[in-house]
A and B are shown apart, each in its own frame.
Chain A
């Protein structure tokens, strides 16, 4: 079945620095690549996504880059702020699995003021 891995599992940065989280997947038929943010005790919320016909997408301080050949995509957060502290999950999906979704194990980001 689909294998999804996230790295690192924990990331600590100083406020204002950049953070990068990588998601590696095994299903070459994956065509949808979202990132979700979950604050403590809250629901996960989509923060950015990309589809397989695009290599990069940016939304203010957040960007996602996709390398379909290597089967990985990354979340980039620039000028980090304390409110960026949360757990981030990737959840690639594609035609092979249909609607079945495998989430990565999550990356806990700490932004130190």
Chain B
């Protein structure tokens, strides 16, 4: 969707380095999400946030951190504690008032290890 921008498109991480993936949306959505997708696999939830200054762990939060200081922004940091970070990372957002609304995805960031 044109309303969700992820950057960069490709990212390389060195050993022991933290890297931050950007996700910005102008859809005025309250809820935002981060997913990890490995080759040929489904989407696994890392973190989600229903409202500013609040976020919850998903199924695979270890080695990742997030912040939600602004409604339109939900950056994801891949820390050095994440030993296998190579994957396709997708950010999404949805209307936050109820859970029965679709998610809109960004174009993703491909993270690789140098």
Task: Please give the distance in Å from B52's CB to the nearest CB on chain A.
Answer: 14
Number of interface residues of B (CB under 8 A): 27
Closest A residue to B43 by CB, please name it. A103
Are A45 and B105 in touch, CB under 8 angstroms? yes
Are B50 and A43 in touch, CB under 8 angstroms? no
Is B103 interfacial (CB 8 A cutoff)? yes
Question: Which residues of chain A are near B1, meaning CB under 8 Å?
Answer: 43
A32-B101, A43-B108 in contact; A102/B45 too (CB < 8 A)? yes
Are B106 and A43 in touch, CB under 8 angstroms? yes
Checking B48, B96, B106, B108 against A101 with a beta-carbon cut-off of 8 angstroms, the contacting residue is B48
Report the separation of the CA atoms of residues A84 and B1 in the bound assembly, to the nearest whole angstrom. 19
Are A95 and B105 in touch, CB under 8 angstroms? no
Are A95 and B99 in touch, CB under 8 angstroms? yes
Interface, chain B (partner A; CB < 8 A):
1, 31, 33, 35, 41-45, 48, 50, 56, 58-59, 90, 94, 96, 99-108
Interface, chain A (partner B; CB < 8 A):
31-32, 34, 36, 42-46, 49, 51, 89, 91, 93-95, 97-106
Q: A43-B90, A103-B45 are in contact. List 6 more A-B contacts (CB 8 A).
A: A44-B105, A91-B43, A99-B31, A99-B56, A101-B103, A103-B43
